[in-house]
Amino acid sequence: MAAETRQLAAWASRLSYADLPRTTVEATKRLFADWVFCAHAGASYRVISAMEAMASDVGGDARGPASTFSGPPRAPYWAAYLNAGAGHVVEQDDLHNASVVHPATVVFPAAWAVAQAKGKSAREFIAASVVGYEVACRAGILLGREHYRVWHVTSTAGTLGAAAAAGRLLGLDTDGILNALGSAGTQTAGLWEFLATAADSKQVHCAHAAGTGVQSAFLALHGVTGSHNILLGKQGMFAGMVPGVDLASADATRLLPVPGKFQIDDSSFKFHASCRHTHPSADGLLAIMTKNNLTADDIASVDCHVHQEALNVLGPAEAATSVHQSKFSMGFVLGVLANGRSAQLADFTDARLSDPAVRAFQKKVHMHLDKGVDAAFPAKWTARVVVTTTDGRVLEEDVQTPKGDPGNSLSDAEFLGKWQRLIDYADRNASVDVKALAKELLALEEREDMNGLL
């Protein structure tokens, strides 16, 4: 089964900007722009400041050519590491449905840092990012739902994507990309166990993935070999990291690129500021409340019929003792949404954790595994939401394409609104002109280099 990985690596080593349809270039720029604003918003979070301090303690001076959101420009490993954490912490970055990977925050920081270190153009950066998305998403699709049960696939598959993007910018050939993937895959990690106590590992995972991807590509550049079959070898990722599933059942064809079609086209933007697993239900509740002109007090109960992973990921967060954890509680998120019809960044605060209206609504929300919803997942993220009103009405909404999906994307005005809220939230509105930066980022392909964006 090494042949499919080799085909993917060969494709990755050759893809160039000229191969990309206009729509793919536009999607890539918009995803990068969205991620830049997310990283601005996350850069001064406690956990990112702690990562900065750690990097200074153990990495030496390490100033360098690569921009960071959280501090001075750094050498590429540290820039990739820090920016990946910053881009994920506010939970507003993109999600690729079929793989359940958040690709932006592992692929872009790696590609950006290497592009700056090597003086590459924005077009080379764009092509490398498309490569990184393709590899991360295809690896995630291959590893599948049983992998995701224990492993944070953004981190595990993401390390491969980061390595591929970095490797493309270094001009690695097929064997070089394979070596980079081998080193990346054998260092890939990220367990969900931190969810049980809402520990800080989610950002550490992304940082580790992007940083390790950069290291792996440079190791390959300097001749360090890795397994050429790291995903599907007898002692590789699938064999070791997909509990309870036999290697023989792996579908290697999932790794094969399809001419003219790119995984990056399928990534979804986040609208609500909560875990993506809450979004289909949030959309359903919002639709029911809007159509029927309901207030939170009109609602007796909300039954969310969801896929299994929603139960797995959101279940442990129900207590919601921190702002970050509260975005992973279905009850809390719907409580926020019901009391104000908005679940944006500024709606999740320390004060909100003890808001009696939200906490009261939370008790009305129940999740149920739904066979149809579950069968459609992860290719489609759907939900069936049933609201029972205090006056006895039963109202139902079937959400097939949640807000932010490629088929139901944000409008230009909604993007600008989201990005402005991200900047306002981080209290960076004095230093970041959202409209001007958005304009620059959406004309990215004209840039000779990737410097001076922050």
Footprint of a copy of itself (CB under 8 A): 46-47, 49-51, 53-54, 57-64, 74-78, 117, 149-151, 179, 182-183, 185-197, 199-201, 204-205, 208, 212, 214-215, 218-219, 221-230, 233-237, 239-241, 243
CB of 41 to a copy of itself, least distance (A): 19
Those residues whose C-beta lies under 8 Å from the C-beta of residue 429, and which sit 6 or more positions away, are 423
- The rounded distance, in Å, linking the Cα atoms of 319 and 200 is 17
CB of 223 to a copy of itself, least distance (A): 5
Q: Which is nearer to a copy of itself, 203 or 329 (CB)?
A: 203
Q: How many other CB atoms are there within 10 angstroms of residue 57's CB atom? A: 8
CB of 351 to a copy of itself, least distance (A): 22
Q: Which is nearer to a copy of itself, 185 or 284 (CB)?
A: 185
Sheet hosting strand 365-369, strand order edge to edge: 365-369, 299-306, 383-389, 394-399
Q: Which is nearer to a copy of itself, 46 or 439 (CB)?
A: 46
Q: Which is nearer to a copy of itself, 49 or 295 (CB)?
A: 49
| 3 state DSSP class of 421 | helix
CB of 329 to a copy of itself, least distance (A): 17
Q: Which is nearer to a copy of itself, 90 or 437 (CB)?
A: 90
CB of 436 to a copy of itself, least distance (A): 30
The H-assigned helical ranges of 249-370 are 279-292, 308-314, 323-326, 330-338, 350-353, 356-362
DSSP letters of 42-107? Answer: HTTSHHHHHHHHHHHHHH-S-EEEE--SSSS-E-HHHHHHHHHHHHHTTS-S-EETTTTB--HHHH
- The rounded distance, in Å, linking the Cα atoms of 383 and 372 is 9
Q: Which is nearer to a copy of itself, 199 or 379 (CB)?
A: 199
- Strand residue runs (E) in 142-294: 267-268
CB of 47 to a copy of itself, least distance (A): 6
CB of 204 to a copy of itself, least distance (A): 6
- DSSP 8-state symbol, 401: S
Q: Which is nearer to a copy of itself, 308 or 389 (CB)?
A: 308
